[in-house]
Structure 1
């Protein structure tokens, strides 16, 4: 008969223990009761968090385009959509809002938001737009990076640049929507 050992003491805090407080930011004791995986169990709908550095352009565009595409397909709310920045600015890029309005997406009333581990866990799926933003991996959170075309590297600036960025993001958002909703 195999030998069984029961340990009634508190679990050790080790990197192998994915729900260990040691791999989470320091928070108040009352917040330590939820395991890392729980936020993905709260909602029946998939969720995505779009991230860039300032949360004033690319990530806001992606979130706005995802919401607009879902609404146009009669799927408003089928995916929980949010955005954040690693070093958020003070406002949404006016040109980004303008070129999105041309395709029916309204981000003019949005405001940049700070990226937090809690927001990442709640979404469960994080999309980093561009190469600049650095995001640490979190247990139970899927992270993907979209290496976007950067028209300014080819000398394309202003409205034309922003339209090209919008169109690149829009194609990727449509593909992501299909993956999330099957």
Structure 2
């Protein structure tokens, strides 16, 4: 078994959905891990469905804002996790980058609250696997 990272940067394109969900779950369930999130082309606000699906499980992301990825965020992380297939992240400092091909229910015609719950649970399972615990 490998040692879980002490700090993780979660990245997606808009930093309004999947990376926000991953960061919020990691902060909530693993408070000793330093967690940040960012986007390669950040949206102006967090997707309301992301906030709502997290609120369903007792995680409040009020006040979170999408932010752009920076070299400093990458350098400060032990690991960069890219969620989805669209965002592209390269590191010059050797920080490891992994990609999670997160379930996208909309590709199967699943939208709205059901979509967000499926994304949340896929991301929750992956966060727990990464940080060394079994998803509840």
Aligned length: 129
The TM-score normalised by the length of structure 1 is 0.68
CA RMSD of superposed structures (Å):
1.3
Deviation at 1:116, TM superposition (A): 0.7
The TM-score normalised by the length of structure 2 is 0.90
Aligned to 2:36: 82
**Structure label with greater radius of gyration:** 1
2:92 to 118, 138, 141: 138
What CA distance in whole angstroms lies between the structure 1 residues aligned with 2:128 and 2:122?
A: 10
Deviation at 1:176, TM superposition (A): 1.0
Aligned to 2:109: 155
**Conservation of the 8 A alpha-carbon contact between 2:74 and 2:91:** no
1:63 paired with 2:23, answer yes
Higher relative contact order (CA 8 A, sep 6+): 2
Aligned to 2:66: 112
Unaligned runs of 5+ in 1: 1-44, 71-75
Unaligned runs of 5+ in 2: none
